[in-house]
């Protein structure tokens, strides 16, 4: 176990060092995705862990899933964005007037030119997709962020959701470079993602081509809670980006045994090709 923790530390340290270098480079884009696990366990301590790591990294884009607000809990994305000095957009099928709302969010340190969201099939579920167009210097970036189905029969449903997402992408894109990020609830090579794979590549798989999807050292599911599987992804357009690095973060507990989430995060650094 001690050896495994040392490995996790090295992965996080390397990602942090790389991101620190990339922050000063206009030709790179840093992206984090994390399933937030809403307010489970000790949220105040988990929040502190997440804020501390993200303040050091200062990624360009942060995608969050399982974001919650209720009467006793301010919107988690808003709280994190305020702590980081970021802009944020939150999407939920729960009506805005409801105190309890659950959904997805994107945080960014760049100006937001377009923000919109749509529900994904089935209509009685809570799945959504977010679209933000960002101004990153003179460049424009379309970010599509989502959290796909995991229920029994999820492969078929995820396939429908991917169809919805790609159709929406085609309807909203104006030629800008784009990424698709989030908790896909399945490995990137799952058959239902074939239409997505025809346009995008998974950053982690590209950087670690020999890594098994269910390998412990590459899982994005927290091994304290789940069997290993890599289901959280940063997908990029290979015509517009190349992968500099991709790794995990939030993949070890603090000295009190507190984990940031029941997922590990994914950090990808991409290089613009134009």
pLDDT, tens digit (0-9, with 9 covering 90-100), for 35-58? 999 999 999 999 999 999 999 999
Q: Is residue 19 over pLDDT 60? A: no
Hey, how many other C-beta atoms are within 10 angstroms of the C-beta on 177?
Answer: 21
pLDDT tens digit string along 95-106? 999 999 999 999
CATH pick for 2-272 out of 3.60.10.10, 3.50.30.60, 1.25.40.10, 3.50.50.60: 3.60.10.10
Question: Model confidence at 123, in pLDDT bands (50, 70, 90)?
Answer: confident
Q: Which of 73-77, 150-154, 166-170, 176-180 has the lowest average pLDDT?
A: 150-154
- Hey, where are the domains in the chain? 2-272
Predicted TM-score of the model (pTM): 0.91
Who's near 153: CB < 8 A, 6+ residues apart? Answer: none
pLDDT score, position 10: 40
pLDDT tens digit string along 233-257? 999 999 999 999 999 999 999 999 9
Q: What are phi and psi of 245, to 5 degrees?
A: -160, 155
pLDDT tens digit string along 155-165? 999 999 999 99
Q: Is residue 27 over pLDDT 70? A: yes
Rounded Cα distance between 9 and 32, Å, is 17
Q: Is residue 3 over pLDDT 60? A: no
Calculate the average pLDDT of the chain.
92
pLDDT score, position 1: 38
Q: What percent of the chain has pLDDT over 70?
A: 90
Question: Model confidence at 151, in pLDDT bands (50, 70, 90)?
Answer: confident
pLDDT score, position 125: 86
Give one word for 175, left, alpha or beta, with left for phi > 0 and alpha for psi -120 to 50. left
Residue with tokens 């996790």: 8
Q: Is residue 23 over pLDDT 80? A: no
pLDDT score, position 152: 63
Q: What percent of the chain has pLDDT over 90?
A: 86
């Amino acid at each position: 176990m001690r050896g495994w923790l040392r490995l996790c530390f090295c992965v996080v340290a390397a990602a942090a060092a790389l991101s620190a270098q990339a922050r000063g480079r206009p030709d790179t884009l840093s992206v984090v995705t994390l399933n937030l696990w809403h307010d489970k366990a000790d949220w105040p301590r988990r929040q502190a862990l997440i804020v501390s790591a993200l303040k050091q990294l200062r990624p360009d884009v942060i995608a969050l899933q399982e974001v919650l607000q209720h009467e006793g809990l301010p919107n988690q994305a808003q709280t994190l964005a305020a702590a980081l000095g970021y802009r944020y957009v939150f999407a939920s099928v729960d009506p805005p007037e409801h105190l309890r709302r659950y959904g997805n969010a994107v945080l960014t340190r760049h100006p937001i030119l377009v923000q919109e969201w749509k529900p994904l099939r089935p209509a009685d579920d809570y799945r959504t997709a977010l679209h933000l167009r960002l101004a990153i210097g003179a460049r424009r970036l379309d970010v599509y962020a989502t959290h796909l189905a995991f229920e029994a029969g999820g492969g078929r449903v995820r396939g429908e959701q991917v169809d919805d997402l790609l159709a929406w992408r085609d309807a909203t894109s104006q030629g800008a470079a784009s990424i698709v990020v989030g908790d896909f609830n399945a490995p990137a090579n799952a058959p239902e993602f074939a239409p997505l794979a025809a346009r995008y590549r998974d950053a982690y798989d590209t950087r670690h081509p020999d890594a098994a999807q269910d390998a412990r050292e590459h899982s994005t599911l927290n091994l304290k809670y789940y069997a290993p599987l890599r289901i959280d992804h940063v997908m990029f357009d290979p015509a517009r980006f190349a992968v500099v690095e991709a790794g995990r973060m939030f993949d070890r507990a603090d000295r009190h045994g507190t984990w940031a989430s029941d997922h590990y995060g994914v950090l990808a650094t991409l290089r613009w090709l134009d």
